[in-house]
């Protein structure tokens, strides 16, 4: 056997490598519907996001916090209206989930855009420059959860009394009974704590 001749096994391996086709990333299959096309268009522009069709007229996106403003600016081209900003406190995970609910006037589709931030450094950029109505929603989320929306000049006492402002009463670690006793005195006995079930 010629020592310069490569074994046939190696030749086959090299041939397989040369002819190997690139493996496509696992992407969710999107339906050929208005909702599916909306998700597809946005994901093409924002490959860092995840998107899916929930059902008719409902789509959902999950976006890294550091790209949320960029994504929402892109989304505003199709979803012209910001309907609401809501917050979920995942206390055990040490995170807040911030949900932007959008509405497409042109396509009649409702979008949920979700992102997560740490509870101990709860900051996001304002989206007032995209939807001016965001000012109100951000002020509410700031007051009740303590999230700072950087760039919003009106964060401060909004709905609550000044003495309640820094308490952020919708956080799951807020002790309502303890706060009530502080305000109304130790004789406050509207609730029997022994019969109260705290669900976190």
Q: Is residue 19 in some structural domain? A: no
Of the candidates 75, 50, 54, the one whose C-alpha atom is nearest the C-alpha of residue 63 is 50
Which of these, 171, 174, 183, lies nearest to 144 by C-alpha position? 171
pLDDT at 12 exceeding the cut of 60 = no
The SS3 of residue 117 is strand
Distance in angstroms (rounded) separating the CA atoms of residues 145 and 78: 29
Q: What is the CATH number of the domain that holds 130?
A: 3.30.460.80
**pLDDT for residue 72 is more than 50:** yes
On whether residue 141 sits in a domain, the answer given is yes
The percentage of the chain sitting over the pLDDT mark of 90, rounded to a whole number, equals: 61
What are the helix (H) ranges across the chain?
8-18, 34-45, 68-75, 134-145, 176-184
Can you give the pLDDT at residue 4? 52
Looking at per-residue pLDDT, the higher value among 135 and 27 belongs to 135
Is residue 62 assigned to a domain? yes
Residue 76 located in a structural domain: yes
pLDDT confidence of residue 182 = 75
Q: Tell me whether residue 20 is in a domain.
A: no
Q: Is the pLDDT of residue 16 over 50?
A: no
Asked if the structure places residue 194 within a domain, the reply is: no
Judge whether 87 lies within some domain. Answer: yes
What is the domain extent for residue 124? Answer: 28-157
Number of domain units in the chain: 1
């Amino acid at each position: 056997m010629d020592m310069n001749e490569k074994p046939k096994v190696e030749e086959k391996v090299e041939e397989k490598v040369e002819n190997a086709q690139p493996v496509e990333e696992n992407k969710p299959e999107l339906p050929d519907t208005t909702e599916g096309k909306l998700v597809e268009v946005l994901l093409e522009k924002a490959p860092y996001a995840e998107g899916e069709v929930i059902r008719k007229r409902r789509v959902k996106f999950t976006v890294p916090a550091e790209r949320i403003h960029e994504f929402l600016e892109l989304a505003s081209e199709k979803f012209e209206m910001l309907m609401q900003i809501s917050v979920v406190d995942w206390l055990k995970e040490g995170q807040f989930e911030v949900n932007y609910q959008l509405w497409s006037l042109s396509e009649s589709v409702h979008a949920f855009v979700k992102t997560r931030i740490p509870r101990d450094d709860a900051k996001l950029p304002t989206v007032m420059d995209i939807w001016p109505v965001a000012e109100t929603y951000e002020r509410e989320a700031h007051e009740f959860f303590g999230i700072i929306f950087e760039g919003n000049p009106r964060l401060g006492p909004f709905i609550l009394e000044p003495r309640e402002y820094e308490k952020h009463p919708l956080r799951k670690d807020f002790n309502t009974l303890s706060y009530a006793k502080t305000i109304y005195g130790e004789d406050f006995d509207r609730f029997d704590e022994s019969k109260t079930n705290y669900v976190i």
